[in-house]
Amino acid sequence: MTLYTTLTIGENHTNHCEDYLITAEIGKEKILCAVMDGCTMGTDSFFAATLTGKLLRKIANEYNYKEFISKQSVDLQQTLAGILRQLFQELRELKNAIQLKREEVLNTLLIAVIDSNNATGEFLCIGDGLICLNGDFFEFEQDNKPDYLGYHLQEDFDTWYANQQQRVSAQQIRDFSLATDGIFTFSRYNNQTYQQAGNVAELLLIDKTGCQSPNMLERKRIDIEKEWGLKPMDDLAIIRGIL
């Protein structure tokens, strides 16, 4: 499997990119992918997204080590639930330990665990975002009122997790992408004349031109800016995997 990523600050933001992304091994031919989007109305929202990503990287390393030692593989549904349970617990402990307010731990989370050997995956969106699977789009939109993970840290995890509806289970994966909602915000940023614009989401998440380059997504984003005159107005994080 080949992974491609791009992370860029939106045209309407000035100081920080509030999105974050992570890819990490969690076992033999298994990876964790996640994109986070900090709440603009929160406090230091880039911090919440980054903190979530750093914790997921730590958890992924632990899962990778445990599978290596035990030589036993856990199915993807259990793996995803276990990773989120640990994230939930560690975020809550950190929030309490350094006395963070709720407004300081608000971010969306679009997470996937992928088994490249079996071409299967489990996906969960907490808040809003976009999944693309083999050319099909699964959009999760919550009317600009995302249900951030940080709202629920004091709740019972099992009860909260059982109520999550924004899930996708996938088999025979050939191509998948995770994107924050910045994917929907590409707009003209100046008055110059450009080529007629095409479909941004299809170019970034479906089109395979240039997939030989590890920088495919970054190059496509730059081409969209130079040839179509479009930039994302909101921050953007994308992970794309081709099996």
Q: Is the pTM of this model over 0.85?
A: yes
Mean pLDDT across the stretch 179-201?
A: 95
Q: Is the C-alpha dihedral spanning 13, 58, 139, 166 positive or negative?
A: negative
pLDDT of residue 173: 98
Within 8 A by CB and 6+ apart from 189, the residues are 11, 225, 229, 230, 231
Within 8 A by CB and 6+ apart from 64, the residues are 24, 25, 26, 27
Task: Name the residue with tokens 């989401």.
Answer: 201
> From residue 152, how far is each of 72, 76, 149, 155, 199 by CA, in Å?
32, 23, 6, 5, 36
> From residue 41, how far is each of 45, 47, 54, 95 by CA, in Å?
8, 13, 22, 18
pLDDT of residue 160: 96
CB 206 within 8 A of CB 240: no
Domain boundaries, the chain: 2-182+234-242
pLDDT of residue 43: 83
pLDDT of residue 22: 98
> If one looks up domain 2-182+234-242 in CATH, what number appears?
3.60.40.10
Tens digit of each residue's pLDDT (9 = 90 or more) over 71-84: 787 899 999 999 99
Tens digit of each residue's pLDDT (9 = 90 or more) over 82-98: 999 999 999 999 999 99
Q: What is the SS3 assignment for 241? A: strand
